[in-house]
A and B are shown apart, each in its own frame.
Chain A
Amino acid sequence: MERTTLDLWVGMFVVAGLAALVALAMKVGNLGTYNVSESYQVYGYFQNIGGLKVKASIKSAGVLVGRVTSITLDTQRYEAKVVMSLDKRYQFPQDTFANILTSGLLGEQYIGLMPGGDEEMLKDGGQVKQTQSAVVLEEMIGKFLYNKAAEPEKVIVPEK
C-alpha cells in the first residue's frame, strides 16, 4: 500500500489530537503532579466541615500534599469523618493539626496541615487528632450579631 500525503495529514491530525490530550492531562490536569505518586491514608474528625468536598486539596505551607478521599458522618460521635490521602513523599508528625481553611473570601475550602513537633510520624490509617472546623460564615455573622445584642446599649444622652 503506497503512502500518500493524505496519510501524512491524517497522521499529523491524530498525533496533534493525542498531544493535546496528553498536554491537557499533564499540564492542565493533575495527572502529572499527584496521581502518579503513591499515597497513604489518614483520617480526622471535624465538628463541622462547612463546604469541604471530596477531592478538595490538602496543603501544608501552601504546597499541595494530598486530597480528601471521603467524607462521612460518624453516627457514634456525630462528627464528620474525613479521610485524607497524602503523598508518600510527605510525612507528618502525629500531633499535626488539621485546619479547614478557605482560599480567598469566597473561594474553595481546603485542609491545611500544620505539623507539630512529635518524633513519631503519622502512619497509613492513622488519625489526625487535632482538628479545627471550618469557619461557617453564617455562624460568624450570628455570633457577631449576638455579641452586638449582648453589649450594653450605649445611651446617647441628648445634651440639654
Chain B
Amino acid sequence: MAATKTIRAIGHRIVDAVWRIGSATRFFILALLYSGMGFKRFRLIIKEIFSSGVMSLIIILVAGLFVGMVLGLQGYETLKRYGSESALGSLVALSLVRELGPVLAALLFASRAGSAMTAEIGLMKATEQISAMEMMAVNPIARIVAPRFWAGVISMPLLAAMFSAVGVFGGYLVGVVQIGVDEGSFWAQMQAAVDFREDILNGVLKSFVFGTVVTVIALFEGYDAQPTAEGVSGATTRTVVNSSLAILMLDFVLTAIMFRGN
C-alpha cells in the first residue's frame, strides 16, 4: 500500500512538473507577444535594467575577480607539474569564457535579480496590484512582465562578459603579478587558445540563453505565486532552485552542441 502511494505521489509530481513547464512556456510566449508595448515604452525596460542588471553588478564583479584568482592559483599548481605554466593564460581564459563566466554569472543573477523579481511580482499579486492593473484595462503581462523579461535578457550577457573580463584580470593578478608567470606568454597563450567566434561568441550565446530562462522562470514563479506571504516566499525559493537546475542542465546541452569536435 505504501509503495503504491509513493509511486502515485511521484507520478503526481511529474505530471505537475510537466504541467508547470507547459504553463511557463505559454507565459513566455505571452510575454513575447505583448512585448510590442514594452518597446514602445523603452523607459520601463531601462528602469528594470537598473534594478536587475546594475544592482547585480557588485556581486558579479567581486565574484568574477575571486573566481579568476582561484583559477590562477589552482591552474598554476596543476600546470606546474607538467612544466606548462605558460598555458595558465589559456586555461584561465577558456574556463571563464566558455563555462564559468556564463554559468556562474547566471547562477548569481538568478539568486540576486531572479529572486527579487519573483518576490516583487508575487507581492504585487498578493496586494492586488496586478488585479488593479487589469481592472484599469492595462495588460499586466505587457506592463509588468515584458519589460522585466527584456531587461533580464539584455543584462545577462553583459554581466557574464564583465564576469569573464574581471575573472581574467583576477587570473592575471595571481598568475603574473603575484606568482610571476611570464606576462608575454600569459597573454600570448591566451590569445592563441581563445577564438572569438568559437569561444567568446558561444559564451555570449550561452549567457543569452541563461538570461532568457532565468528571467522567464523568475517572472513565471512570481506571476503564478499564491497571493499570500507563504506563497511568495515559496515561489522565491522555487525560482532560485529551478533556475539553478535549468542553468546547469542547459549548460551541458549547450556545451555538447557548441564545443563538440574541438
Contacts and interface: CB of A to CB of B under 8 A. Distances in A.
A associates with B? yes
Interface string B140-164: 0000000000000011011101101
A24 B97 contact: yes
A20 interface: yes
B159 A17 contact: yes
A24 B54 contact: no
Interface stretch (B1-9, B20-28, B193-201): B193-201
B13 interface: no
Interface SS majority for chain B: helix
B83 A18 contact: no
Interface stretch (A30-38, A76-84, A93-101, A142-150): A30-38
A105 B82 CA distance: 7
- Of the candidates B49, B53, B97, B162, the one having the most CB atoms from chain A within 10 angstroms of its own CB is B162
A64 B190 CA distance: 12
A21 interface: yes
B49 A33 contact: no
B187 interface: yes
A54 B50 CA distance: 42
Given A24-B200, A30-B191, A35-B196, A9 B54 contact: yes
B199 A29 contact: yes
Given A20-B165, A21-B204, A53-B262, A30 B195 contact: yes
A45 to B, nearest CB: 23
Given A6-B47, A10-B50, A17 B82 contact: no
Interface in A1-42: 1, 6-7, 9-10, 12-14, 16-18, 20-21, 23-25, 27-33, 35
Given A10-B54, A53-B262, A30 B158 contact: no
Interface residues of B, number: 40
Nearest to A104: B84
B72 to A, nearest CB: 14
Contacts of A85: none
A18 B158 CA distance: 7
Given A9-B50, A10-B53, A20-B165, A28 B194 contact: yes
A81 B43 CA distance: 57
- Of the candidates A25, A28, A104, the one having the most CB atoms from chain B within 10 angstroms of its own CB is A28
Contacts of B47: 6
A29 B200 contact: yes
Contacts of B192: 30, 57, 64
Interface of A: 1, 6-7, 9-10, 12-14, 16-18, 20-21, 23-25, 27-33, 35, 53-55, 57, 64, 103-108
Given A6-B46, A29-B200, 17 more contacts: A7-B46, A10-B46, A10-B49, A13-B50, A13-B53, A17-B155, A24-B161, A24-B165, A28-B191, A29-B194, A29-B196, A30-B192, A30-B196, A31-B196, A35-B196, A55-B195, A55-B198
Closest 6 CB pairs of A and B: A17-B158, A20-B165, A104-B84, A31-B196, A20-B161, A29-B196
Interface of B: 43, 46-47, 49-50, 53-54, 57, 82-84, 86-87, 93, 97, 154-155, 157-159, 161-162, 164-166, 168, 187-188, 190-196, 198-200, 204, 262
